[in-house]
C-alpha cells in the first residue's frame, strides 16, 4: 500500500524559478539527498519532526520561471512531512525582501535587467548545510561531492515515500559516533572529521541560531574548531537565508565576480572593498553578479584531487 502523503499548492504572486532557488542546494549531480526529474525537485530532509521527502513542481521545466503567479505544487511524505511543507515559502525566498536593495551601479543595474530580482531562500536547517560545507573545505568539488555521497549512503537512511533512490543525511548522533577510520574511508581527513564531530555535539544549539542576526550566527559558528568564515557563510546563505553572507575564501567567487565587474581576477580583499557599500545585501550582490556573468575564462591547471587517502 502506498505511503500516505500531504500536498499543498502555493501561488506566490511573483515568478518563481525552482531551478534558481533550489539547485544551489544540490551537492553535485550525484547528491543522494536531491533528485531532479523533469520539472520535479525531490529532496530528502531531516526535519525537527523526523525524516521527510519533499517533491516540488512548477508549471514549467527546472529552469523555467513558470507563470507570473508563481504556482508551485508540493507533496511530502514521512514524519516530517508537515514541517517540510511549512518550510517551502522560506525555501523559495518568501521571507526575503529584495525590494530593500537598490543600486545605481551600472554593472549591477544591467545585471538586474538580465536576471531580475534575486531572492535568498532559507531551509531553517543548520546541520543540513553545515555537514556538506565542512566536507567541501579546501578540496576539489569532485572530492567533496564524493565524500558527501559516501557519508550519506553509508550512515544516512532512505527517505520516506515513493522515490526509489532518495536519501536523508545522517543525524547528529550518528555523526558523533562515526569512528576515525571510517572518516578516512569516506575520504574525509581528520581536520574535517573533527570539525564535523565537534559541531554534531552542539547540534541543538546550532539549530537555535536560525533567526539570529548574521554577525551573531557567524560568531557562534566560527567559535567551533575547524569552522571558518567560508563555512559559516555557506551555512548563513543556505540555512538562514542571510542576504549579507559572502563566501570569502572561496577558490572561485572573488575571481568570478571580478571578471563580471572589471573583466579581471579579484582577490578577497578587492571583493570585500567592492561589496562593503552594499551592506546588508553583500551576498545578494555577489549572487546577482554570479548569475549574470559573464563567466571567467577557464585557463591554466585546475586544483588536483588528493591521492593519499585510502580508496574504497
pLDDT exceeds 80 at position 155: yes
Single out the residue of 222, 209, 217 nearest to residue 137, CA to CA: 222
Q: Does the structure show a pLDDT above 60 at 302?
A: no
Output the pTM of the full model: 0.90
- The pLDDT assigned to 60 comes to 57
Domains of the chain: 6-99 (3.30.310)
Q: By mean pLDDT, which of 91-100, 211-220, 276-285, 291-300 is the weakest?
A: 291-300
Residue 300: per-residue pLDDT: 52
Beta strand 34-37 with 71-77 is: unpaired
Give me the pLDDT at residue 125, please: 98
Closest CA to 235 of 97, 137, 89: 137
pLDDT in tens, 200-243: 999 999 999 999 999 999 999 999 999 999 999 999 999 999 99
Q: Residue 139's pLDDT is what?
A: 87
User: Cβ distance 186 to 76 under 8 Å?
Assistant: no
Q: How confident is the model at residue 1 (pLDDT cuts 50, 70, 90)?
A: low
Residue 133 and residue 228: Cα distance in Å, rounded? 11
R_g of the chain computed on alpha carbons: 19
Contacts of 286 (CB under 8 A, 6+ apart): 246, 247, 253, 257, 271, 275
Residue 265 pLDDT greater than 60, yes or no:
yes
For residue range 47-84, list pLDDT tens digits in order.
Answer: 999 999 999 998 754 444 555 678 999 999 999 999 99
Residues 6+ apart with CB under 8 A from 166: 32, 33, 35, 42, 43, 44, 53, 158, 159
**pLDDT at residue 308 above 50?**
no
H helices of 156-224, in order, are 172-177, 180-185, 190-201, 203-207, 214-222
Task: Give the mean pLDDT of 267-272.
Answer: 98
CA gap 42, 121 in Å, rounded: 17
Nearest in space to 129 (alpha carbons), one of 19, 46, 223: 46
Cis bond before residue 280 (omega within 30° of 0): yes
Amino acid at each position: 500500500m502506498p505511503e500516505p502523503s500531504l500536498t499543498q499548492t502555493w501561488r506566490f504572486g511573483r515568478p518563481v524559478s525552482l531551478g534558481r532557488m533550489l539547485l544551489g542546494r544540490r551537492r553535485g549531480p550525484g547528491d543522494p539527498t536531491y533528485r531532479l526529474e523533469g520539472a520535479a525537485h525531490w529532496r530528502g530532509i531531516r526535519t525537527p519532526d523526523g525524516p521527510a521527502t519533499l517533491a516540488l513542481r512548477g508549471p514549467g521545466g527546472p529552469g523555467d520561471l513558470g507563470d507570473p503567479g508563481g504556482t508551485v505544487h508540493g507533496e511530502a511524505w514521512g514524519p516530517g512531512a508537515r514541517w517540510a511543507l511549512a518550510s517551502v515559502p522560506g525555501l523559495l525566498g518568501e521571507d526575503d525582501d529584495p525590494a530593500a536593495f537598490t543600486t545605481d551601479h551600472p554593472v549591477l543595474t544591467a545585471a538586474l535587467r538580465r536576471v531580475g530580482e534575486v531572492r535568498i531562500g532559507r531551509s531553517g536547517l543548520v546541520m543540513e548545510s553545515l555537514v556538506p560545507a565542512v566536507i567541501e573545505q579546501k578540496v576539489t568539488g569532485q572530492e567533496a561531492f564524493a565524500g558527501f555521497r559516501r557519508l550519506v549512503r553509508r550512515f544516512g537512511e532512505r527517505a520516506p515515500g515513493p522515490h526509489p533512490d532518495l536519501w536523508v543525511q545522517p543525524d547528529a548522533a550518528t555523526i558523533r559516533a562515526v569512528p576515525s577510520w571510517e572518516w578516512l574511508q569516506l575520504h574525509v581527513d581528520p581536520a574535517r572529521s573533527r570539525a564535523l564531530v565537534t559541531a554534531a555535539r552542539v547540534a541543538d544549539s546550532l539549530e537555535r541560531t536560525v533567526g539570529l542576526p548574521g554577525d551573531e550566527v557567524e560568531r557562534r559558528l566560527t567559535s567551533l574548531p575547524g569552522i571558518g568564515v567560508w563555512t559559516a557563510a555557506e551555512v548563513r546563505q543556505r540555512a538562514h537565508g542571510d542576504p549579507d553572507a559572502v563566501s570569502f575564501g572561496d577558490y572561485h567567487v572573488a575571481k568570478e565576480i571580478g571578471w563580471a565587474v572589471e573583466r579581471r581576477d579579484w582577490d578577497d580583499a578587492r571583493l570585500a572593498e567592492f561589496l562593503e557599500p552594499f551592506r546588508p545585501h553583500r551576498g545578494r550582490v555577489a549572487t546577482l553578479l554570479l548569475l549574470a556573468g559573464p563567466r571567467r575564462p577557464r585557463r591554466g591547471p585546475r586544483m588536483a584531487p588528493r591521492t593519499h587517502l585510502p580508496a574504497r
